[in-house]
Amino acid sequence: MIAIGIDIGGMSIKGAAVDSNGRVYDKFSMPFVKGEPGEDTIRKLAVLVKEYIASQHLEGKIAGIGIGSPGTLDVDNGIVNYANNLGWNDLPVAKIMQETLPYPVRLTNDANAAALGEAKFGAGKMYETVIMLTLGTGVGGGIIINGKLYEGNQGKGGELGHVVVQVDGEPCSCGRKGCFEAYSSATALIRETKKAMLKNRRSLMWKISPEIELVGGKVVFEGAAQGDKSAIEVLNNYVKYLGEGILNYCNIFRPNVIVLSGGIANAGKPLFDPLNQYLKDRDYGYKRTPEVKIVPAELGYDSGKIGAAALFFK
């Protein structure tokens, strides 16, 4: 079985044919033009997909077209209800695609698509219940329970970045305060790194990044590796908030594994070792419960495409 998987982002739209073994064919992409009417963007995408299918000689072999999109979605009817960063409101993506293409179209949140890809073909493929967290500008999430994607009522569940870990805490992009995202995203880590640097002008982090406006997520890890006390404090606090949020998911879902992706997850052992120890020291959320493994994602930027295509695989 072969399906088309598409990952919609704020800078570009990328896709590929994927088979039921997770094999990715040649990829295609197009720029996302900000300010362009959503209907025009999707019509151009439909033409691109049609030409791609012809170029790969896949006519008659496609089970369907899966699309991962940011925002709140009506997955039953293939509509993007609201995607702020795309500027889309009530955009009937599936209907527009089917004006050009004779295939079924399924829509899911982009974080759900990435989670499904990792669960079926990546770091979670050996497990039945998988949680995936994407630690980027925000915190995205996806939930796979007993091998099936959980999307919630109207497909609008799985917002794992928006559980509160600090009442009346840092403001969050969703409008609430103290969300997991506000403490565990790359944005949050960079915010706290800058605060620590301004508080301690002797921190080694100034040598790593002399211009504070250019501070990125790697700075605190490099500083901690060199023994800088300010960096170590920031990293310990970050692991604490990330760990506490994950312990909540351990208690709610009791997954086999939690997969971390995004730029912060690329830190490797300096993140995963203390994080796994933090969870172990706290009995994975509750005494006499099984270990929950925290592992890095494996599929990289292909996870969204693969997961979107996997909407058509059993």
Could you tell me the residue ranges of all domains in the chain?
2-118+302-312, 125-297
Please report, rounded to a whole number, the percentage of residues in the chain having pLDDT higher than 90.
Answer: 92
Confidence of residue 10 (pLDDT cuts 50, 70, 90): confident
* Max avg pLDDT among 52-56, 133-137, 157-161: 52-56
Tell me the CATH number for domain 125-297.
Answer: 3.30.420.40
Please report, rounded to a whole number, the percentage of residues in the chain having pLDDT higher than 70.
Answer: 100
Res 154: pLDDT:
86
Q: Is the pLDDT of residue 171 over 90?
A: yes
Give the residue with greater pLDDT, 84 vs 17: 17
Give just the sign of the alpha carbon dihedral 233, 235, 238, 242.
negative
Both tokens assigned to 306: 């693969």
Res 314: pLDDT:
79
Q: 314 Cβ partners below 8 Å, 6+ apart?
A: 20
| Per-residue pLDDT tens over the stretch 106-118 | 999 999 999 999 9
Q: Which CATH superfamily is domain 2-118+302-312 in?
A: ATPase, nucleotide binding domain (3.30.420.40)
On the question of a common fold for 2-118+302-312 and 125-297, the answer reads yes
**Which of 225, 195, 219, 216 lies closest to 205 in space, CA to CA?**
219
* DSSP class of 9: -
d(CA 78, CA 6): 14
**What is the average pLDDT across 63-77?**
95
| Per-residue pLDDT tens over the stretch 246-275 | 999 999 999 999 999 988 999 999 999 999
Confidence of residue 146 (pLDDT cuts 50, 70, 90): very high
**What is the average pLDDT across 239-248?**
97
**What is the average pLDDT across 130-156?**
92
Strands 105-109 and 130-135: what pairing? unpaired
Res 192: pLDDT:
98
| Per-residue pLDDT tens over the stretch 293-314 | 999 999 999 999 999 999 999 7
Mean pLDDT, all residues of the chain? 95
Distance of CA 172 to CAs 92, 179, 192, 196, Å?
29, 6, 15, 20
**Which of 131, 151, 1, 141 lies closest to 62 in space, CA to CA?**
1
Res 197: pLDDT:
98
pTM of this structure: 0.91
Res 193: pLDDT:
98
| Per-residue pLDDT tens over the stretch 173-188 | 889 999 999 999 999 9
Give just the sign of the alpha carbon dihedral 153, 159, 163, 168.
negative
User: Do 22 and 3 contact (CB within 8 A), yes or no?
Assistant: no
